[in-house]
Structure formats: C-alpha cells, structure tokens
Structure 1
Amino acid sequence: MSDITLPTGGAAAGVRPASATATDVMIAARLDRLPMTGYQKMIFSIIATAWFFDSIDLGSLTFLLGSIKTEFKLSTAQAGFLSSMSFVGMFLGAALSGMAADRFGRKVVFQISMLFWGLGSLWCYFAPDPTSLGYARLLLGFGMGMEFPVALAIVSEFVPTAKRGRYLAILEGFWPLGFIAAGLLSWFFLANFSWREMFLCQAVPALFLFVVRFFVPESPRWLADQGRTDEAEKVMADIESKVLHRLPAGSTLAEPKPIAATARGERRFSFLELFSGEYAGRTVMIWLTWFFALLGFYGLTTWLGALLQAAGYTDVKSTSYVVLIALAGIPGFIAAAWLVDAWGRKPTCALMLVGSAVAAYAYGNAPSFTMLIVFGLVMQFFLFGMWSTLYAYTPELYPTRARATGAGCASAIGRVGSLIGPALIGVVLPTLGQGGVFALGAGSFVIAAVAVLTLGVETRGKSLEAISG
C-alpha cells in the first residue's frame, strides 16, 4: 500500500500548479505513478481492438491479391502497383495525422481515421474495375495510416513508464492476430463468396469509433502541453479517481516523483526540430529503420499468397499455408514484449531485424516444401517481433508536443518503403525469381539493423519526459 491519499482537486499535495509548465510535468508525474489497473487496461483494450480491425484490413490483401489479379486479368506488375495504392494512402495518412493529433488532439483524429478506413473498405466492395479499386485502396490506406501514430501516442501517454514498452509491444502484437484473422476470413469468403464480400465485412468494425468516443479520454499529457490546464486537471482527476476505485478498499496512490520542468520558451516545436539537436540522430535512425524494414516486410508478405499460387497451389490452399506461417508471429511478439523491458529497445530491435534477414533468405532458398514452412515460421516469428519492438521504440523518441508528429513522419517514411516494396517485387520477380526476391528483403532488414545499432539510443526504464524534454 502506498503512502499518501489522492489529493483533493487532482493536484499533487492539493496545490494547483502555478504555471502551464508546472502542470505539464506534474500531470506526467501523476500518470507515471499510477498502478496499472483495469481502467488503463480498458483504454488499452479499446485502442488495441481498433488496431486489430485495422490490421485485418491491411493484411487481407495478402490473401485476396491472387483472386483480384485473376478477376481483373492483371499482370504481375499491375497487381504489384494495385497493392501499393494502400501504401500511398498510408504515407499521406501517417504524415498528416501525426501533425493533426499534436495540433487538435489524439482522440478526435483517432476517430476520424476509423471513419476513413471504414468508407474505404465499403468502396472496395463496390469497385467495378481496377482503377476504382485502386482509389478505394488509397482511401482505405489513408485511414489506416492515420491510425498508427495516434494509437502509439495514446498508449505511450497513458501507460506508466514501467509497463510502457511491454504494452506498446503487445499493441503491435494485435497485428499478427489481425493478419491471422484476415487469413481465416479470406479463406471463408473465398471458399463461399468472393473477395468483395470480404471487404464489405471489413467496413462494419468502423462503427467501433463510437466506443472510442465514449470511453477513451483525451490524453491529459497532451492537454497540459497545450496549456489547457483546467481540462488537463479535470481529466487527470477523473483518471485518478477511476484507478483508485479499482484498487482494494483503503488503498492510496503513491506520491508523484518530481520531473524536471522545461522552460516554456524552449518548448516550441517545429517540423525542422526533428533534424536539430538531440532529435537529428534519432530521426535519421528511425526513418532509415522504418523505410528499410517496411520495404522488406511488405515486399515479401504482400506477395506470399500470390507466390504460392504461382507455384501451383489453389487460392484456398495457399491462404491456409500463409495463415499457418503467420501463427509463429504470436510467440514472436510475446518474446519482443518481454525483451524490450528486460533487455532494452535497441538490442531487441536489432536482434529481430537480423533474425528476419536470415530467415527471409533461408525461406527464399528453401530446398523443399517442408523446409519452406519451417523457414516461414521462423521468418514470421522475427518479423512480428520486429514490428512490436519498432512500435514500442518510435513514440518514445520525441516529446509530447511532437510525439504523434515524430511517429507519424517515421511511419510515413516507412510507407514509402512499403509502397516501393510490393511494386519492386512485381517488377523484379520475373527476372530474379523467388530466391532473389527474398534476398532483396533480407538485405533491407540488414540495413535497418545497422541503422539501429549505430544511431539508436536506449529508452528502457525512462519516463517520456526524461527521454525528451
């Protein structure tokens, strides 16, 4: 049991901070000292569920691309460019939503993102030709790109420092779960309906935005940083009350640990500051990592189903094999969630990238079908571990006033890689073959690992305010 009671009125020791800067650091200290209860887990679960639905939308093209290619009689290159339309939208969505979330708030931008990807999925269902489908995927990708950096900002700002890395990694773990769900749903719809009904099904979860609207508060860290002191105090007091309500009767909350305040004049932030001072090296590192990691990942996974179909397997059977391989992503993100706090963000990220490179190369040169499945399982273990670590690491590198912007821009640069990857594979596959394709992916992961090892900083166990002022 902790040693002080909840202060009346929400301010530490019952005293209202005298300045916006004092409010900023006190809100952060009060959030970080809270025990992890069902209330924070409820907020996390809502964000993770939305992330799960989003991941189904993104992952479904891996399983549906072969059928779409057949229906519209697309060439390999045309199919590659169609799949890349999602990533064009994700580039725009990630770049704009990060800045919008830092300007207008996390909650409202998160809801808008869900609306966009819901409408995009619905449009995919009605698309009469490849051009219309490409525009629909563009809109769908825009909504998905919007969601990623905002979700990371919300989770990183609500979860206490001691648990932050683990929960951010677990959040990304909902991606392999969504990928597996996309495979199972695709298997069902391809066996009984068509790819169109799959997209119609994916539009329905956008209604989940109403859950976000009524149950997820705005980030008090962001409110305080914006100088909206009264709102920050009100939300913070409500959070403390709900956390205390979920503790055993008679429990109290620990006293907030002091965090050094930063002068208001030093807290103005512009896009150019991403490349100045302590942030310059971080930005170069995380942009390189995102670009090459996503180029390799999406260049390979978007084509997994189509490559198996090209090898003679039916749509349904190739989908089953890809789902089987994806199952290894579950222990992969669980391992990453433990390692980021036990070992550190930087070494875990490098390990997962190098492991992905080795496994991808082995997969592309597998001597038999059995070894193809074995190497595929190993590859997905490291790939999804890589994703979990990358998402845990990125939002910690920037301050509250630009956290979503920094994460959004990194994600946007990654989407350039994910845009190039599938299109590049579609063009290169006929000349290099499958072995060359996976060698290209392996090389991308190696470059990303080198960037982390040479330019990365360690953030494990530090408060967000200690990492960045």
Structure 2
Amino acid sequence: MSPSPALPESSATPIDRPLTRSQRLDRLPFTRKHGKLLGASGIGWALDAMDVGLISFVIAALTVHWGIDKSDGSLIASAGFAGMAIGATVGGLLADRIGRRSVFALTLLIYGLATGASALAMGVGVLIALRFVVGLGLGAELPVASTLVSEFAPARIRGRVVVWLEAFWALGWILAAVIGTFVATSGPAGWRWALALGMIPAAYSIVVRLGMPESVRFLEKKGRHDEAERIVRDFEASAGIEEPQAASADGSAAGASGATAVAVAADGDGRVAADEVGVVPEADRVEATGGIWSAGLRARTAGLWAVWFCINLAYYGAFIWIPTLLVDRGFTLTQSFTFTLIITLAQLPGYAAAAWLIEVLGRRWTLTIFLAGSALSAIGYGMADSEATILVAGCFLSFFNLGAWGALYAIGPELYPTAVRGTGTGAAAAFGRLASIIAPFLVPVLVVSGGQVLAFVVFALAFAIASAAAFTLPEQRGKALAE
C-alpha cells in the first residue's frame, strides 16, 4: 500500500487510526472500476430521463392527433409524478433495507415494462394509469442511484462524480428530443413507437443486477463483512494496490496483512483531505436516532426539502410544457420539437460547469449560484418574443437549471449517515415530486391568467426561494460520508 501523503502544516496532532473499509474507498483515485459503476448507473439514469422527456413530446403529439386539451395533458404528466412521489419514498426505505443495487434493478424493470405497455394505450384513462406505474419505478430509481454512486466515489471528487452521473440526464433528455422530433412526428402512431423504445430499461435491469456491486457501507450495516471486503479489494486492485489492508469483522482495519495504522488529522477548516483517509470531523458527526428529523438532521432536511420542492415546481412546470406552449404560439409540431432539442443541448455545458465548480466553490455555493441563474433565465424566457430570444433564453434556462440539478443530487446523500442515507435522499425527492404533480396543472391556469410571462415569473420566484434554501445547507466538500 502506498504511504499516506504528508499532512498539512495546519493539521492538529496526528492520531494513529486503522483504515476502515469506507476510508479505504475514500482515499482511492478514480479507477476503471469507478468508471464502470458510473457508466452502468449513468445509462440507467439516461434511460430515466428519456422516459420523462418523451412524455412532454407525447402530450404535444396527442394534442394534435387525439385533440386532447390541457387538462388531459396535465393529468397524463401529473400521474407519472404522483407515482414518482410514492416511488421515491418507498425506494429510499427499501434501499436502506434490501440494498441499493437490488432496488435500482427492480425499478428499471418496473418502469421499462410500464412504458412499453403505454405504447398500446387506446385511451387517455389507460395512459394515465400506466404513467402512474412508470412513475413508481422512476421515482425510486433516481435517489437510489445517486446514493450508490456517492458511497463508492473517492471523497475528494465525490461531488464531481455525482454531477457526472446527473449529466447522463442530459443525454437521456437529448435522446428523448431526438426521438420526439424524428419518431413522434412521423404520423398518428409515431408517439406509440416513441414510447415503445422505453422498454429498453427492462432489458438493461438484468445487466444492472448482475454487473454492479452493492454498497460497501450498506453491506457492513447488514453484517455482510466478507462480501464488503471482497468488493473493497476489487476496487483497490483496480487502483494498483496489490496488498490491501485487511479489515476485521466490524469493518475496522486489522493487522492481518501487516499494514500499519496511518496518521489522520483535519485541516484548518475541519475538512479531511481525501488522500489521507476521510475521517468524519467531530463537528460533522450526526446521530440517526430519531430518523431524518432528529435534532442533528432536521435543519438540513428542511433546507433540502425546500430546494427539492421549488426546483421540481419550476423545472417540470417549464420543461414539460415548453413543446406544447411553442405549438400554442403558432409554431408547427416539428418546429416546436426542434427548438426543444436545441434548448436541451445546453444542458451538457451546464453539467460540465457544475462538475468543475462543485469541487472548487463547494456544493452550497454551486447550487445557490446555479439556482439564482435559473431564476434570471426563467424571467428572460417568459419575456422572449422572437425565435432568437426564445432559443437564447431557453438555452440559459437549460444550462443553469440542469447544473443546479447536478449539484442537488451531489449534496443530498452527503447530508445523512449511512443508516438513513437512502431514506433521507428518497424522502426529499418524494416531497419534491409533490411540486411536480402540481406543476402540470398550474401552468395552464397561469397562462390563462397572465400569459407565458406570469407562468415563468412564478418559476423564477420558485428558483429564487430554492437558491436561498440551498445556502442554508452545510458545506460537505472534501468531507467523508457520515457512518
């Protein structure tokens, strides 16, 4: 095992500590094994985004081919979000009980099959029911995937890795825009073929179940120490560590391999460099007794829930309705979908900027800045009155909004100890989904009352509130995950 790097001059007196399995993972560089895990999770994430994105194009297509009104479109969209709210809660609880990987695979299977069945729907009622089932799987998968990746990512770049995971959302939404533009517009049955492609996740779930490792932190909580040790050694071998430090049955290091304890100390601002061992500073240790609303966790839970609610209200209110609102403004279905595709492409640089800033400025500042940028962009889009201004404002909205999503998914799992990490992230996502249920119904009312300008002013206000709430969250950059 390579020697531990020198401690900062500002460090407190070093304390000899053995490496736990979690600390052994924290100090690793980003390896091929990390890349494989990120890719497997990311593909599932992209397929989720494709499904969510497709429904906005399907609603616009059904407005033309079936003559549905905005109330029907709102019901179709909200049914999926209602399922997501329940799925996020149940998925988070199950992830803390039966494992992250198992829940991830199960949710992919559920929503993949339900999406394929939606392609056969002969009426709005059946489509609404199937979208609810789709939402159950989709809502459970997203927080579980981010939790799993967070628990494997090296501490010094954990936030960046989770933003990379979230960036797969942009790829999936772009794929949805491509399918919507070239498949959903192909004729009266085009939307059916678009939804039929959503069955891909059902097949991919088999790959996920067989190829992904289970969370080491979860395995240790369940007493499955031999399995946890085997996974850690696989990751260490991928990093070139041929003789890893062995761990005892309770997860702490033992001397079986002859490895010695290493010195650990915090730097001046309380963070521990990941290349040391990622010990949780005393000030950041919280008890999970009493759950996510215990005394040590309730403030961060309240702040996180506020961000989740407001960002869901604004994001889904805007992006679910953008294709239809463009059609209402006189653009053809093809023009509307093409504009949406261009706007969607701006998500990629948004994620790239957030991935860089999150380890430079930190999670809290990155999330706050991108939410504030989303608020200003929403005002700009609401006031846009030409093709050029629609595209420019839409691209800025897409850039800042999706960068904020990346930072949000990065900070969520870091706020909770292992015992309630899945529950905490799932509950926040579930609360946010309540806003996404409301948003599709809210938009038609706002548009009738004050036009597109009023709708996007409301979205801007939601982003501003989320920005303020984000600034109340504790900064977790460079800190080890709480056990």
Q: Work out whether the TM-score is over 0.5.
A: yes
Q: Is the 8 A contact 2:292 2:298 kept in 1?
A: yes
Give the equivalent residue in structure 2 for 1:397.
415
Give the 5 Å matches for 1:271-286. Answer: 272-286=290-304
Range with greater deviation from structure 2 (221-230 or 277-286): 221-230
Aligned partner of 1:3: which letter? P
Give the equivalent residue in structure 1 for 2:2.
2
Q: Is the 8 A contact 2:57 2:184 kept in 1?
A: no
SS at match of 1:331: helix
Q: Is the 8 A contact 1:76 1:427 kept in 2?
A: no
Per-residue CA distance 1:96-120 (angstroms, 9 max, x = gap): 0001000111111111000111111
Distance 1:167 1:253, change over 3 A: farther
Question: Displacement, 1:178?
Answer: 1.1
- Which of 460, 464, 468 is 2:477 aligned to? 460
- Aligned mates of 1:400, 1:369 — CA distance in 2: 49
- Aligned mates of 1:28, 1:159 — CA distance in 2: 10
Q: Is the 8 A contact 2:368 2:470 kept in 1?
A: yes
Q: Is the 8 A contact 1:121 1:140 kept in 2?
A: yes
Aligned partner of 2:427: which letter? C
- Which of 72, 91, 102 is 2:66 aligned to? 72
- Which of 186, 192, 199 is 1:192 aligned to? 186
Q: Is the 8 A contact 1:94 1:149 kept in 2?
A: yes
Give the 5 Å matches for 1:133-172. Answer: 133-172=127-166
Per-residue CA distance 1:403-440 (angstroms, 9 max, x = gap): 11100001001101111111111233222211111111
Give the equivalent residue in structure 1 for 2:201.
205
Aligned partner of 1:335: which letter? A
SS at match of 1:244: coil
Give the equivalent residue in structure 1 for 2:119.
125
- Aligned mates of 1:129, 1:245 — CA distance in 2: 59
Give the equivalent residue in structure 1 for 2:255.
none
Range with greater deviation from structure 2 (63-72 or 124-133): 63-72
- Aligned mates of 1:322, 1:287 — CA distance in 2: 29
Unaligned runs of 5+ in 2: 5-16, 244-258, 263-275
SS at match of 2:54: helix
Q: Is the 8 A contact 2:185 2:191 kept in 1?
A: no
Unaligned runs of 5+ in 1: 5-21
Question: Displacement, 1:254?
Answer: 11
Give the equivalent residue in structure 2 for 1:180.
174
Q: Is the 8 A contact 2:236 2:242 kept in 1?
A: no
- Aligned mates of 1:268, 1:207 — CA distance in 2: 40
Question: Displacement, 1:82?
Answer: 1.6
Distance 1:316 1:244, change over 3 A: same
- Aligned mates of 1:290, 1:69 — CA distance in 2: 30
Question: Displacement, 1:226?
Answer: 2.3
- Aligned mates of 1:162, 1:254 — CA distance in 2: 21
Aligned-pair identity (%): 36
SS at match of 1:464: coil
- Aligned mates of 1:116, 1:399 — CA distance in 2: 29
Per-residue CA distance 1:171-230 (angstroms, 9 max, x = gap): 111112211110001111123351011010111232111221222111111111222223
Give the 5 Å matches for 1:26-41. Answer: 26-41=20-35
Question: Displacement, 1:326?
Answer: 1.2
TM-score if structure 2 supplies the norm length? 0.86
Question: Displacement, 1:79?
Answer: 1.2
Aligned partner of 1:457: which letter? P
- Which of 75, 84, 96 is 2:78 aligned to? 84
Range with greater deviation from structure 2 (80-89 or 188-197): 188-197
Aligned partner of 2:186: which letter? N
TM-score if structure 1 supplies the norm length? 0.89
Q: Which has the higher helix share?
A: 1
- Aligned mates of 1:464, 1:385 — CA distance in 2: 23
Question: Displacement, 1:260?
Answer: 6.4
- RMSD, aligned α-carbons: 2.4
Give the equivalent residue in structure 2 for 1:422.
440
Per-residue CA distance 1:365-414 (angstroms, 9 max, x = gap): 12422112111111111011111111111111011111111000010011
- Aligned mates of 1:43, 1:254 — CA distance in 2: 29
Give the equivalent residue in structure 2 for 1:409.
427
Q: Is the 8 A contact 1:107 1:218 kept in 2?
A: yes
- Aligned mates of 2:157, 2:62 — CA distance in 1: 42
Question: Displacement, 1:72?
Answer: 3.3
Q: Is the 8 A contact 1:350 1:449 kept in 2?
A: yes
Give the equivalent residue in structure 2 for 1:219.
215
- Aligned mates of 1:143, 1:318 — CA distance in 2: 29
SS at match of 2:67: coil
SS at match of 2:358: helix
Aligned partner of 1:430: which letter? V
Give the equivalent residue in structure 2 for 1:259.
279
Give the 5 Å matches for 1:335-350. Answer: 335-350=353-368
- Aligned mates of 1:344, 1:135 — CA distance in 2: 41
Q: Is the 8 A contact 1:169 1:389 kept in 2?
A: yes
Distance 1:39 1:64, change over 3 A: same
Give the equivalent residue in structure 1 for 2:308.
290
- Aligned mates of 1:234, 1:219 — CA distance in 2: 12
Give the equivalent residue in structure 2 for 1:373.
391
Find out whether 1:437 has 2:455 as its counterpart: yes
- Which of 99, 103, 107 is 1:109 aligned to? 103
Give the equivalent residue in structure 2 for 1:11.
none
SS at match of 2:429: helix
Q: Is the 8 A contact 1:38 1:246 kept in 2?
A: no
- Aligned mates of 1:132, 1:427 — CA distance in 2: 25
Q: Is the 8 A contact 2:323 2:337 kept in 1?
A: yes
- Aligned mates of 1:190, 1:158 — CA distance in 2: 39
Aligned partner of 1:224: which letter? E
- Aligned mates of 1:88, 1:419 — CA distance in 2: 6
Q: Is the 8 A contact 1:172 1:388 kept in 2?
A: yes
